[in-house]
Structure 1
């Protein structure tokens, strides 16, 4: 049975969510503080964590970082805020997806299904990629070791940024639509808004472009998607 940890300090969200998850066939455990969530996480294995951003004591961002240091369990961040900065913070520290309050249980359930499916796909054996190296302009990606060098400098790329960049480079010189990127990295059944992709593209440009405000390597094809090329666009 899939086991889910919900860390949420508002009873009006926590209790109905635990009830609904149980009805859906999940084994759901709840915590109302970051400390309780961290203690529970250490007591048993979880398949998914639903984590509120604003918590008393240990914050959701701190708890997310702690979990990421020890385990790759998927995390859905819940926040009452929806500004770009809040989205960036959640994604940077390792969240796989996010929802904003107020949310419907149907929406959250769709996110849960999508995240769990993508996790299963990542751990299911597929075509071998060990030793694969991707190169595009100043960027060199080592797939097996999850390392990215930009102009010879090792540069940190969280998982989703890594997957977006790898897909773009595998299709370098070609236009990749936004829907193709979202489907490949977040899944064809992704129900979140496209701001998530925008944030990742912005952060990738900040790491690979000489001037991120005037991208030359990773360019936008208006109304279609993105293209990455070895030769910078004029």
Structure 2
């Protein structure tokens, strides 16, 4: 069965180009020209992934992302001409899975889409649902089978990417990981050219798990290398 993708793009030329290319890649694509149409379609149909432009008329892309994330973990790839670190931080911080700046090549788009869909499929497949031991570091506990993290028995609201990054670090508490190693492990993708995505996710993760994000105890920066779990 073909994957069902929601394309949210107000530029007719870009929408037609993307829709045509992904359809040739055996993907089923529905197009929404604005935020309101996107939210309506999302409420009516089940999608495997969303391609989301940030600059939309009416309800903008960030509002669409917030509303989608309020009740769904469907993968979201942001497409936007706003290629600043601020926009990337906003998009990724609110729970997007990846970011692709306009203009982009259709080959790169299709590679990103397939990689995200592949990860989502592997994450949900029954063969991957093998019981895993809890991971505990001080007051923090990661429940792999339930895909959740608790701190002092309080559930923390982590995105899928934040949880995977934390799981990687907690599984190897004495090891320091470079930003590239984190990207390749968590995104499960050979593509790598934007370390800012890792910094954004680490920053948001610290805000959720640390008592004082400005002086983190759990996720330590290893200067010149990357990040590791703190020693308690």
Q: TM-score, normalised by structure 1?
A: 0.86
CA distance in 1 between partners of 2:29 and 2:62 (Å): 21
Structure 1 residues not aligned, in runs of 5+ = none
Distance 1:34 1:155, change over 3 A: same
Whether contact under 8 Å (1:110, 1:191) holds in the other structure is no
The answer for the alignment partner of 1:87 in structure 2 is: 88
Name the Cα RMSD after superposition: 2.3
Which 4+ runs in 1 deviate beyond 6 A? none
Q: Any residues of structure 2 matched to 1:40-79 within 5 Å, and which?
A: 40-79=41-80
Structure 2 residues not aligned, in runs of 5+ = none
Whether contact under 8 Å (1:138, 1:208) holds in the other structure is no
Whether contact under 8 Å (2:164, 2:186) holds in the other structure is yes
The answer for the alignment partner of 2:203 in structure 1 is: 202
CA distance in 1 between partners of 2:94 and 2:220 (Å): 26
The answer for the alignment partner of 2:116 in structure 1 is: 115
Following superposition, the deviation at residue 187 of structure 1 comes to 0.9
Paired residues, number: 230
The answer for the alignment partner of 2:105 in structure 1 is: 104
Q: TM-score, normalised by structure 2?
A: 0.87
Following superposition, the deviation at residue 199 of structure 1 comes to 0.8
**Which is worse superposed, 158-167 or 189-198?**
189-198
Following superposition, the deviation at residue 111 of structure 1 comes to 1.0
Following superposition, the deviation at residue 214 of structure 1 comes to 4.2
The reply to whether residue 39 of structure 1 matches residue 40 of structure 2 is yes
Following superposition, the deviation at residue 143 of structure 1 comes to 2.8
CA distance in 1 between partners of 2:208 and 2:32 (Å): 37
